[in-house]
Structure 1
Amino acid sequence: MNVQVITRDGDPEYAVLPWDEYQALLKAAGRDVQAVTDAQPPCEAHPLKQLRSLRESQGRTPEDFARSVGVSPAYLAMIEAGERDPDAAIRRALAHALGVARWEDDA
């Protein structure tokens, strides 16, 4: 089995595995693979330019929010101002910290 373990602060947080292996695990557990697949709600993507307003709507300060994501407040300010385009890992951390599904690609 090809599993990638993602940690946060040294503790395992997620396990990622190929889709076919996930389906095999569901089948082995007696779960209906199609029902689980169909039950997935569509992910609503938010434009990254909404980052500041989403953070502010949750009452999070830039300093607190930046530290919870693992970036400096100065770097967060540059992302919010559109001066920096964060990599995929930082985008995931931003989305996770705000409780949103994901960010859409800004084209």
Structure 2
Amino acid sequence: MNVQVIMREGQPEYAVLPWLEYQALLQAAGNRREAVPQVKNETRPALASLSELSALRQSRAISLEDLARSAGISPHYLAMIEKGERVAEGPIARALAQSLGVAGWEDGQ
């Protein structure tokens, strides 16, 4: 099974796995209906691009270390994302958006 664990403050918070594996787990647990992800209406302002991450973080007076910790990644990795040396995708992009209170970034915009 291919599972990614997202940590927050040193503790596991989320487990992310491929959709088909998730469906197989549901079936094994006796749930015969296919689960459909619920989409919430976002009322938070959208951010145009992940390239604006550093400016947004600084405008909210959040330290690089605090944002990295809340997103479950290392400060070094967050610095690489802010510099454009790495691309935040999927769970990391969602964790950053949630921590900053912005909508989007689900597709690594």
Which residue number corresponds to residue 58 of structure 1? 60
Q: Secondary structure at the match of 1:102?
A: coil
Separation (CA, whole Å) in 1 of partners of 2:75 and 2:102:
20
Task: Tell me whether 1:18 sits opposite 2:36 in the alignment.
Answer: yes
Q: CA RMSD in A?
A: 3.1
- 1:91 to partner: Cα distance: 0.2
Distance 1:69 1:41, change over 3 A: closer
Higher Cα Rg, which structure: 1
1:89 alignment counterpart: 91
How many Å apart are 1:72 and its aligned residue?
0.6
Paired-residue identity, %: 43
Correspondence for 1:98: 100
How far apart are the structure 2 equivalents of 1:47 and 1:88?
A: 14
Q: Please give the secondary structure, in 1, of the residue aligned with 2:48.
A: strand
Q: Which runs of 5+ in 2 are unaligned?
A: 1-7, 15-34
Call closer, same or farther: CA 1:60–1:72 in 2, change over 3 Å.
same
How high is the TM-score relative to the length of structure 2?
0.58
- Shift in alpha-carbon separation, 1:88–1:41, aligned structure 2, 3 A: closer
Q: List gaps (5 residues or longer) in structure 1.
A: 1-7, 23-36
Distance 2:48 2:95 in 1: 14
CA contact (8 A) 2:87 2:108 kept: no
